[in-house]
Structure 1
Amino acid sequence: MFWIVGAGGVGREALDTALAAGMPVAGFLDDRAQGSTVRGLPVRAPKELAAGEGYLIGIADPAVRARLAALLDGLGGRPVTLVHPRAIVAPETELGPGCLVMGGAYVSSSVRIGAHSQVHYNATVGHDTVLAELVTVYPGGNVSGSVHAEQGATVGSNAVVLQGRRLGRYAFVGAAAVVTRDVPANTTVIGSPARPMARRGH
């Protein structure tokens, strides 16, 4: 039995994943919805997690995931890794604590995925790739082999990251972008080939 942190869209998709995997969920932890019920489950405040209880963060924003993981670990929470039975995780692949892998995802051989990272439905992660902590691959994202995504990087829906590229800390690859060059930290890229998004007013 564990709690899903966040009762929004990704949280409910995490619940779908848990139901498919036969893993019982106690309810949701969400400050905004505490005291209500979502999908028939109770919603409590994150600070109410008891020591030793399991949790999985079902929130897309990596900075928010980092803050909540620190809070819940400080309370003695236990991060749970959740993989949909219709996802494929190949041999010699390591999933860190608190990872979420949704249905239809394909994670290839010899991949390392850090704590609290997410691979959404129908996304792919190629061989020998390293996804650091708090990385997100949105639905349909295609991360090729030997890519290194640093902490908090995000690959948007249907985006492609070509082989051997590096995504810096908290880099963001826009939907349907094609990454042909390394992306610096804290940079948003869009288009094909992907280029940094122009800042307004410049």
Structure 2
Amino acid sequence: MGFYIAGAGGLGRETLDVAIACGTAVEAFLDDARAGQTVRGMPVLAPERAPAVASYVIGIADPPARRRLAALLDGRGLRPTTLIHPRAVIAPETTLRLGCLVMANAHVSSSVSIGFHAQVQYNATIGHDALLGDRATVYPGANISGSVTLEEDVTVGSNAVVLQGRTIGRGSFVGAGAVVTRDVPAGTVVVGSPARPLVR
């Protein structure tokens, strides 16, 4: 039994802060790269060492990494758990699927749907009727307006703004401080104000 945080990097440590604020006891971090170490006074185990009856949340920002870890841990019989900081606001008629992480001072408005293993990081805001797909990630200070759709594996960077009714296609990345005024196709990186595809 017990509760584990997958990922012992920066976001994993911030996830531990959320767990502490919630009064949730954490047994250990799960992280292949740091297995055998101690982080914030907590042991770090390889993910394969977590007991099958345990629960977990993933403290890693990268959506593909979250997909891989969730598949591994679910396959071993662990149960994803949603973790919501007590200083976050979750309005009525909003649903969060298992494995979500909502950090301090996030504000999630009414009638929002948030998918499996999605993250709303600190000081981010989600407007009414928004839809966040599985593993969508909203970085600190970002603002998602009402009726926005973030498809699976989308990342919205710090202090970015996505205007009302826009759709961000699967796997896209909205750069820090960008202002999205039109839909973004799948797999696109956009930057600037107004946001435009990044030319490499």
Q: TM-score range by the shorter chain?
A: over 0.9
Give the AA of the match of 2:179.
V
1:134 partnered with 2:135: yes
Following superposition, the deviation at residue 47 of structure 1 comes to 1.2
In 1, Cα distance between the equivalents of 2:48 and 2:187?
30
Percent identity of equivalent pairs: 65
Deviations 1:138-171 (A, max 9, x none): 0000000000110000110000000000010011
Following superposition, the deviation at residue 127 of structure 1 comes to 0.3
Residue number in structure 2 paired with 1:31: 32
Following superposition, the deviation at residue 22 of structure 1 comes to 0.6
Residue number in structure 2 paired with 1:55: 56
In 2, Cα distance between the equivalents of 1:195 and 1:41?
43
Residue number in structure 2 paired with 1:117: 118
Aligned-partner SS, 2:190: strand
Q: TM-score, normalised by structure 2?
A: 0.98
1:148-159 mapped onto 2 (5 Å cutoff): 148-159=149-160
In 1, Cα distance between the equivalents of 2:82 and 2:113?
14
Following superposition, the deviation at residue 50 of structure 1 comes to 1.6
Following superposition, the deviation at residue 23 of structure 1 comes to 0.7
Residue number in structure 1 paired with 2:5: 4
Aligned-partner SS, 1:127: coil
Residue number in structure 2 paired with 1:195: 196
Deviations 1:88-138 (A, max 9, x none): 000100011000000000000000000000000000000000001000000
In 2, Cα distance between the equivalents of 1:184 and 1:26?
41
Aligned-partner SS, 2:73: helix
Aligned-partner SS, 1:71: helix
Give the AA of the match of 1:53.
A
Gaps of 5+ in 2: none
Aligned-partner SS, 2:135: coil
In 2, Cα distance between the equivalents of 1:47 and 1:135?
25
Give the AA of the match of 1:33.
R
In 2, Cα distance between the equivalents of 1:89 and 1:14?
18
Deviations 1:30-76 (A, max 9, x none): 00110111111110001112212101100000000001100000000
Count of matched residue positions in the alignment of Structure 1 and Structure 2: 199
Give the AA of the match of 2:142.
G
Give the AA of the match of 2:139.
Y
Following superposition, the deviation at residue 12 of structure 1 comes to 0.3
Residue number in structure 1 paired with 2:182: 181
